[in-house]
């Protein structure tokens, strides 16, 4: 017997050829989309480049940004990044806890607990986030409760996102089939053990990707707390220097770039996380 | 010999639907009893009432001298139900393995969490039971990497690892592709031969004929006939039993 014997190369099947053609098409599409993105981006940069271009009698004036202002205030505005990430992170952590409790309450057969959960969700969803933020900054002090800027922001954003995210956790909890609970109960687990060991780990795993999406959304909604004037995050800093020196255009563009790049990075991390989770042991 | 399972006057209603009607059933230690009957006749519900996955509406369930009355409430009742569940292992049609745990962890979960056994001992018991169902070599896999037949064998090992007095099987091969049924039935046969008391809801007439000591026939929430496999398969008394067996003979699986 020849150990080094090889299988003869098989001619490619029809299906294989079709598959390759399909792959080629998809690659080409992605390349073209990438190129178009590049062109749009270049156009945007050109639009704000401050160049004056004359082609014959036809001249194009692009928008002129004050480079000095940008250089001088870059550090100050960038300093808000950390505050933005911090407040988003704390808020999403608080929101996650609230969302999980609200989801458990929503699935409870205990009337007061069920009521508390639905009441909370209804109240929060029925009022604007902007109002809720002002409530914690401006209305509470009237009752003698003064929260620090960051704390008030985290409470407002957390309560708001918690109500919306309760749906994620409810979906997560109900994604765990009845058979799982029954198998745990048949083994003799108590309802609490069943929840902790069997249902929650599966529900939380299900909820990780959508929670990541909420975190990304939160980094942008956190800009709303700037309006109160107490949290020195990106938006607050941009508007502060922009207004003071009447360079709102530059300041807001800078903040927008920070938000956008942050979102791009977080979205990339998010898709990687999702890919890892989905190829895991499910 | 006294019975290890004794169901007396068991009634079960789902809303207005009367699903089990005054069921009386006894199983002796080491006996293998197969329950057959058309779909919807109440076989699963009967099995699930025995370990209280369904709350019986009336009657008494006795498992290994623990007597539990229907309609019980409160701590004492819950404790009794808990003890009944410790004495009964259950295997489901849909396997219901825990997908977030390895095969080994699926099997150690009950002993560690429910019985508070230390992990080393639980691993030892789990490995023994995985070996019993021929799947020790899969212990580090996750359930989604197993075939249906392998999943069901792990589910059997998981139930056995709790060292129950009785095993309840609810159509353990009905969700399997035909070529995977044999391996599961073989494991069940082996467990039966090792002396386990088993109550098996099944459509596998070959298994019932070969392994069962007794066959119980259900129709419309009642036990219409019970006897040795020979009698049930060769000379059934009730025309409904005859019709049921004829359907299986002609290959009809409902
Ligand atoms: N959770 C439930 N709620 C309402 N009806 C049910 C429920 N479970 C079973 N039933 C009904 O009870 C009857 C018996 O069901 P089941 O015990 O599953 O029968 P089998 O296992 O013999 O097919 C059927 O009519 C079924 O529709
Ligand atoms: Mg059934």
CA-nearest of A136, A139, A149 to A230 is A149
Query: What's the pLDDT at A5?
Result: 59
pLDDT higher than threshold 70 for residue A9: no
Query: What's the pLDDT at B248?
Result: 84
In angstroms, the Cα distances linking A34 to A29, A37, A39, A48, A120 are 9, 5, 9, 22, 44
Q: Give per-residue burial for B140-156: e unless 16+ CB within 10 Å, then b.
A: ebbbeebebbbbbbbbb
C-alpha to C-alpha distance for A181 and A75, rounded to whole angstroms: 54
Query: What's the pLDDT at A227?
Result: 85
Contact residues for B101 (Cβ-Cβ < 8 A; gap 6+): B109, B142, B143
C-alpha to C-alpha distance for B198 and B191, rounded to whole angstroms: 9
Query: What's the pLDDT at A61?
Result: 83
Residues in A closer than 8 angstroms to B102, CB to CB, are 281
- Does the residue A39 lie in any domain? no
Cβ separation of B94 and A179 shorter than 8 Å? yes
C-alpha to C-alpha distance for A125 and A129, rounded to whole angstroms: 9
Query: What's the pLDDT at A123?
Result: 97
C-alpha to C-alpha distance for B87 and B31, rounded to whole angstroms: 15
Query: What's the pLDDT at A141?
Result: 86
Of B96, B100, B144, the CB nearest to A183: B96
Q: Calculate mean pLDDT across residues A83-95.
A: 95
CATH number at residue A113: 1.10.3720.10
Q: How far is B87 from chain A (nearest CA, A)?
A: 9
DSSP B60: E
Structure tokens at B208: 């019932």
Query: What's the pLDDT at A63?
Result: 86
pLDDT higher than threshold 70 for residue A281: no
Q: Which of A8-12, A106-110, A167-171, B18-22 has the lowest mean pLDDT?
A: A8-12
Q: Which helix (H) or strand (E) holds A41?
A: helix A14-47
- Residue to mutate (ligand 1; options B14, B52, B222; most atoms within 8 A of CB): B14
Contact between residue B86 and residue B164 where contact means Cβ atoms under 8 Å apart: yes
Which ipTM value was assigned to this complex?
0.94
Q: How far is A203 from chain B (nearest CA, A)?
A: 11
Residues in A closer than 8 angstroms to B97, CB to CB, are 183
Query: What's the pLDDT at B254?
Result: 47
What DSSP string describes B10-28? EEEEETTEEEEEEEEEEE-
- Does the residue A86 lie in any domain? yes
Q: Which chain A residue is nearest to residue B99, measuring alpha carbons?
A: A282
Quickly state the pLDDT bin for A6 (edges 50, 70, 90).
Answer: low
Structure tokens at B48: 């699930």
Structure tokens at B32: 């293998």
In the predicted model, residues of chain B with pLDDT beneath 70 are 1, 251-254
In angstroms, the Cα distances linking B179 to A63, B97, B110, B155, B184 are 73, 21, 30, 18, 10
Ligand with minimal distance to B20 CA: 1
Query: What's the pLDDT at B77?
Result: 96
A177 SS3 class: coil
Could you report the per-residue pLDDT of A53-80, keeping only the tens digit for each? 888 888 888 888 888 999 999 999 999 9
- Does the residue A37 lie in any domain? no
Quickly state the pLDDT bin for A2 (edges 50, 70, 90).
Answer: low
Query: What's the pLDDT at B154?
Result: 98
pLDDT higher than threshold 90 for residue A11: no
- Residue to mutate (ligand 1; options B42, B48, B223; most atoms within 8 A of CB): B42
- Does the residue A175 lie in any domain? yes
B7 SS3 class: strand
- Does the residue A117 lie in any domain? yes
> Looking at ligand 1, which atom is closest to the CA of residue B42?
17
C-alpha to C-alpha distance for B151 and B155, rounded to whole angstroms: 6
In angstroms, the Cα distances linking A18 to A13, A21, A135, B99, B159 are 9, 5, 60, 36, 48
Cβ separation of B53 and A182 shorter than 8 Å? yes
CA-nearest of B106, B171, B53 to A179 is B53
Structure tokens at B159: 């139930």
Contact between residue B31 and residue B197 where contact means Cβ atoms under 8 Å apart: yes
C-alpha to C-alpha distance for B21 and B42, rounded to whole angstroms: 9
Query: What's the pLDDT at A3?
Result: 56
C-alpha to C-alpha distance for A199 and A210, rounded to whole angstroms: 18
C-alpha to C-alpha distance for B123 and A239, rounded to whole angstroms: 62
Structure tokens at B195: 């002396």
Query: What's the pLDDT at B253?
Result: 52
Could you report the per-residue pLDDT of A116-168, keeping only the tens digit for each? 999 999 999 999 999 999 999 888 889 998 888 889 999 999 999 999 999 99
Q: Calculate mean pLDDT across residues A191-198.
A: 96
Query: What's the pLDDT at A282?
Result: 46
Query: What's the pLDDT at A279?
Result: 62
Structure tokens at B205: 């007439």
Q: Which of the two residues, A205 and B9, has the higher pLDDT score?
A: B9
Query: What's the pLDDT at A7?
Result: 60
Helix, strand, coil percent values for chain A (each to nearest 5) = 80, 5, 20
C-alpha to C-alpha distance for A144 and A146, rounded to whole angstroms: 6
- Does the residue A182 lie in any domain? yes
DSSP B111: I
C-alpha to C-alpha distance for A255 and A223, rounded to whole angstroms: 10
Number of domains in chain A: 1
Find the B24 Cα to ligand 1 centroid distance in Å.
18
Instruction: Note down the domain range covering A179.
Output: 82-229
A54 SS3 class: strand
Place of tokens 């209305």: A139
- Does the residue A132 lie in any domain? yes
Cβ separation of B162 and A188 shorter than 8 Å? yes
- Does the residue A92 lie in any domain? yes
Mean pLDDT of chain A: 91
Dihedral-angle region of residue A180 (phi above 0 means left; psi in -120 to 50 means alpha; beta otherwise): alpha
């Amino acid at each position: 017997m020849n150990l080094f014997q090889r299988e003869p190369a098989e001619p490619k099947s029809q299906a294989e050829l079709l598959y390759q053609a399909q792959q080629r098409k998809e690659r080409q599409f992605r390349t073209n989309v990438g190129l178009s993105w590049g062109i749009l981006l270049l156009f945007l940069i050109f639009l704000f480049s401050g160049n004056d271009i004359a082609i014959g009698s036809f001249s194009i004036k692009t928008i002129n940004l004050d480079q000095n202002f940008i250089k001088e205030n870059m550090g100050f505005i960038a300093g808000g990044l950390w505050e933005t990430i911090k407040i988003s992170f704390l808020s999403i952590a608080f929101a996650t806890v609230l969302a999980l409790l609200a989801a458990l309450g929503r699935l409870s057969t205990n009337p007061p607990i069920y009521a508390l959960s639905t009441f909370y969700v209804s109240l929060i969803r029925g009022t604007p986030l902007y109002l809720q933020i002002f409530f914690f900054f401006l209305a509470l002090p009237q009752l003698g409760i003064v929260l620090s800027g960051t704390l008030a922001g985290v409470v407002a954003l957390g309560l708001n996102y918690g109500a919306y995210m309760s749906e994620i956790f409810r979906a997560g909890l109900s994604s765990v089939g009845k058979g799982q609970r029954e198998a745990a109960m048949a083994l003799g687990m108590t309802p609490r053990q069943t929840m902790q060991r069997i249902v929650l780990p599966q529900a939380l795993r299900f909820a990780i990707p959508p929670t990541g999406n909420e975190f990304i959304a939160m980094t942008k909604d956190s800009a709303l707390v700037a309006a109160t004037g107490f949290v020195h995050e990106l938006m607050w800093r941009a508007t502060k220097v922009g207004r003071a020196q009447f360079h709102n255009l530059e300041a807001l563009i800078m903040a927008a770039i920070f938000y956008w790049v942050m979102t791009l990075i977080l979205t990339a991390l998010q898709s990687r996380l999702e890919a890892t989770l989905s190829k895991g042991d499910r | 010999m006294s019975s290890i399972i004794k169901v007396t006057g068991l009634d079960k209603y789902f809303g207005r639907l009367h699903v089990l009607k005054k069921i009386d059933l006894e199983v002796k230690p080491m006996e293998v009893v197969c329950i057959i009957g058309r779909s919807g006749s109440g076989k699963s519900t009967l099995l699930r009432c025995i370990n209280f996955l369904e709350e019986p509406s009336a009657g008494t369930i006795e498992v290994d001298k623990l007597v539990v009355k229907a309609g019980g409430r409160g701590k004492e009742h819950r404790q009794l139900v808990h003890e009944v569940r410790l004495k009964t292992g259950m295997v489901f049609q849909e396997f219901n393995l825990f997908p977030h745990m390895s095969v080994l962890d699926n099997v150690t979960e009950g002993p560690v969490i429910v019985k508070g056994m230390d992990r080393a001992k639980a691993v030892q018991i789990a490995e023994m039971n995985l070996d019993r169902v021929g799947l020790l070599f899969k212990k580090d896999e996750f359930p989604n990497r197993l075939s249906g037949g392998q999943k069901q064998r792990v589910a059997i090992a998981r139930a056995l690892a709790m060292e129950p007095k009785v095993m309840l099987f609810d159509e353990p091969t009905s969700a399997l592709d035909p070529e995977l049924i044999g391996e599961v039935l073989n494991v069940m046969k082996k467990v039966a031969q090792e002396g386990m008391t088993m109550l098996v809801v099944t459509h596998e007439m070959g298994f019932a004929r070969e392994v069962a000591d007794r066959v119980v026939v259900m129709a419309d929430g009642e036990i219409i006939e019970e006897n040795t496999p020979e009698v049930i398969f060769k000379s059934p008394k009730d025309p409904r039993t005859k019709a049921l067996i004829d359907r299986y003979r002609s290959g009809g699986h409902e």
